[in-house]
Structure 1
Amino acid sequence: MKYLKYILGIIAILAIGFFLLGVIKSEVSYDCQVIVDKPLAESWAVSQDESKMADWLEGFQKIEHISGTPDSVGAVSDVHFITEGQEMVIRETITEIVPNESVAMTFTSDFMDMDYKLSMNAVDGKTKISSSTNAKGNGMFSKSLMALMSSSIKEQEETNLANLKKVIEENESTTPTLISETLELTHCESAVYDAQNNRIYASLIGNREDGDGSVATIGLDGKILNKTFVAGLNDPKGIAITKDKLYVSDVTELVEADLKTGKILNKYTSESIAFLNDVAIDNSGNVYVSDTRTSEIYQLGTNGNFSLWLADAALDNPNGLLVQGNTMYVASWGSAPEGGRVSKIDMNTKSVDSISTIIGNLDGIRPYDANRMIISDWRSGNIHLIDAEGNTENILTVGQSVGDIAYVKEKQLLLLPMNKQSRLLFYKLK
């Protein structure tokens, strides 16, 4: 009996000590850092690329978007992990994001709450990656465990950063490099390259006064050739060209202009049109234009007939259009701020199928290589590569309002029209 009292006393002391651990040290805070032998822009792009996260975050499975605009402040997602054979789901909320600089978020689970910030700085052509973590247990038991687990939690973060360093340094770079920019392009929205005349066409919305919009011509050196090549437009957006004609959407009209002179030849419209956006042309010469507000696509046939081609809620406020053979790819704006996805249309049956989950408020979509396309997210400023199965890779983040992009494969040139900044960015992209 005497020994039993001693044993019970020891157990009581241990229990009190365990309890006090949770009272005295219920939070764990630590900082970690690594130096990566890659430029800042590439390091940032790799760290934000969901397709690479399983390579450096132990147990990572997927991110399930819940609400808000992806990759923006306020976005909420469930992050799925597998730990010791068991699935664990952590709720993530982005609280701060500055492209190429830092991202901060809160993580919430049954066991603990965590404030986390990942920062990057350029240092002599390399990148210093720093992380700051503050974790707090939920409930007295988990708070007490936090005190005992503090060193192992920090070790896991150090391992994650070491893995991230390896993934970045072994990454085969597709990160674009800024080479020049053209300024004073008032609310530049769309860009198209004309190989025949070796020049770029850019739609300029202007100051939203009737008639002050235009299509400008720009040299490959970034110099403005003619700011009003096609003049007298209202709010021009998407552009597409044929051998001798230029087509540009202008609010409720599809405008046809002479490719050599810029003279307006025809205007096409319909009573039901609300907000025309991107323009695409198929191999037969039929012209298509999206109506973002009505989830419709119109067609200008080679016979000159302009009519509704497809109306389908599955288009989800279509923006960017890309025709490849008998398939049309659609980059949807979706709803704000949640965003849209990429879909494909069988142009024979007109059936619409999604190929991705929600990505963002999408704008431009252009071919990149035999298997992938480039898409732009207007709201977040992200530029992604996406394949036909919907797998995405973030290759660049620029400012909000990146519009209808262009990619000139033979010149390794990516053109990014920046609406709010009134400029056109020239990037080298292999």
Structure 2
Amino acid sequence: MKALSLSITLLVSTLSSFAQENLSKLWESKEQLPVPESVLYVPERKELFVSLIDGDGSAIDGKGGIALLNLDGSLKNATWIQGLNAPKGMALYRDQLYVADINEVVVIDIITGNVINQIKVPGSVFLNDVTVDKSGIVYVSDTREGKIFQLQNHKPSLFMSDVPNVNGLRVIKDHLYAMAGPELWKIDSKKNKTVIAKGLALGGDGLEPTLDGGYIVTCWGGLIYYIAANGTVKELLDVRGTLNTADLGYNAKDKILYVPTFSSNSVIAYQLK
């Protein structure tokens, strides 16, 4: 009976905590942003970096760029970076911004606002998201090839293959986390995977950790999920058929999501409660 009572208590506690996760809209940017795909929250600068495809997501056309928003959604600089192709996921390491751009990783000095490197990734087709570990090793996903590439000292190599529809990436402590279609994977240094959660209605796009050990996941087709540390999945938002919810930025301290709407040409901020 004691074991049963303890189990029930733990279950009720878990469900009570889990039920507290909900979203409310704070603001939507008013200025048109041409096909925003990813948002990166940069607390030190009190800014949001927003990657803009401005056209076909796989076209090498030089139309893409990165805009800057203030934290209230107002436009700070619409043309901060120009001349990219179809930029998607971004990651910041010290003063260098790494951007996935079809078949290369673009490196930008955020102090000067200059592109300082364009690293071709051999064998890549559709680079999508980027993350960097504490030693500066860069990981980038190729969704169409089902591969994760690695850049050490700006030299690319294949890190892992057979990761179906891989998109969102985040290094959390000493592990790489990846959205592999509708599954969240945890990958160690020896490339062993653990499936943390599965069963999302769509393939995951953005991936951000929360301070309680959980994760926020967006799916491009219009879904946002909260995944608890134990792998339990809760749907937070379903706007399928109305909005896209692409690669989000996240202010973990204040629990604010910054979600690019892709074809609706805006960024929406949501409060996680």
TM-score where L is the length of structure 1: 0.56
Distance 1:294 1:172 in 2: 37
Which of residues 307, 310, 313 is equivalent to 2:160? 310
Tell me by how many angstroms 1:201 deviates. 0.1
**Match of residue 101 from structure 2:** 250
Matched, 1:325 2:173: yes
**Match of residue 387 from structure 1:** 228
Which of residues 208, 220, 237 is equivalent to 2:71? 220
Which whole-Å deviations, capped at 9, do the CAs of 1:296-342 have from their partners, x for residues lacking one? 111121x332222222x2x112000011112111112x3xxxxx211
The answer (yes or no) to whether the contact 2:257–2:271 under 8 Å persists in 1 is: yes
Which of residues 64, 78, 81 is equivalent to 1:230? 81
Tell me by how many angstroms 1:356 deviates. 2.2
Identity of matched residues, %:
34
Which whole-Å deviations, capped at 9, do the CAs of 1:50-103 have from their partners, x for residues lacking one? xxxxx9xxxxxxxxxxxxxxxxxxxxxxxxxxxxxxxxxxxxxxxxxxxxxxxx
For 1:238-387, list aligned pairs within 5 A: 238-301=89-152, 303-311=153-161, 313=162, 315-332=163-180, 334=181, 340-346=182-188, 348-359=189-200, 360-379=202-221, 381-387=222-228
- Relative to structure 1, the CA distance from residue 305 to residue 390 in structure 2 (aligned partners, 3 Å threshold; closer, same or farther) is same
The answer (yes or no) to whether the contact 2:18–2:228 under 8 Å persists in 1 is: no
Give the number of the structure whose residues are more often helix, by fraction: 1
Which whole-Å deviations, capped at 9, do the CAs of 1:243-271 have from their partners, x for residues lacking one? 21111111111000011232100011133
**Match of residue 188 from structure 1:** 36
Which whole-Å deviations, capped at 9, do the CAs of 1:332-365 have from their partners, x for residues lacking one? 2x3xxxxx2111111x211123222231221011
Distance 2:118 2:64 in 1: 15
Tell me by how many angstroms 1:174 deviates. 2.3
Matching residue's letter, 2:53: I
The answer (yes or no) to whether the contact 1:187–1:207 under 8 Å persists in 2 is: yes
- Relative to structure 1, the CA distance from residue 238 to residue 171 in structure 2 (aligned partners, 3 Å threshold; closer, same or farther) is closer
The answer (yes or no) to whether the contact 2:66–2:82 under 8 Å persists in 1 is: yes
Distance 1:358 1:401 in 2: 19
Distance 2:236 2:21 in 1: 6
The answer (yes or no) to whether the contact 1:229–1:261 under 8 Å persists in 2 is: no
Distance 1:279 1:417 in 2: 16
Task: Indicate the SS of the match to 1:420.
Answer: helix
**Match of residue 428 from structure 1:** 271
Which of residues 238, 241, 244 is equivalent to 1:401? 244
Tell me by how many angstroms 1:223 deviates. 1.0
Which whole-Å deviations, capped at 9, do the CAs of 1:23-53 have from their partners, x for residues lacking one? xxxxxxxxxxxxxxxxxxxxxxxxxxxxxxx
Matched, 1:179 2:21: no
Q: How many aligned positions are there?
A: 254
Matching residue's letter, 1:387: A
Which is higher, the Rg of structure 1 or of structure 2? 1
Tell me by how many angstroms 1:206 deviates. 0.2
Tell which has more relative contact order, 1 or 2 (C-alpha 8 A, sep 6+): 2
Matching residue's letter, 1:377: C
Tell me by how many angstroms 1:400 deviates. 4.1
Distance 1:299 1:172 in 2: 38
- Taking only aligned residues, the RMSD between alpha carbons, in angstroms, comes to 2.2
Task: Indicate the SS of the match to 1:362.
Answer: coil
Runs ≥4 residues deviating over 3 A: 170-173
TM-score where L is the length of structure 2: 0.87
- Relative to structure 1, the CA distance from residue 272 to residue 172 in structure 2 (aligned partners, 3 Å threshold; closer, same or farther) is closer
Distance 1:199 1:304 in 2: 26
Distance 2:199 2:233 in 1: 11
Matching residue's letter, 1:179: L
**Match of residue 201 from structure 1:** 49
Distance 1:172 1:392 in 2: 11
Tell me by how many angstroms 1:171 deviates. 8.5
Unaligned runs of 5+ in 2: 1-11
**Match of residue 415 from structure 1:** 258
Task: Indicate the SS of the match to 2:253.
Answer: helix
Q: Which moved more, 1:384-393 or 1:323-332?
A: 384-393
Distance 1:328 1:400 in 2: 29
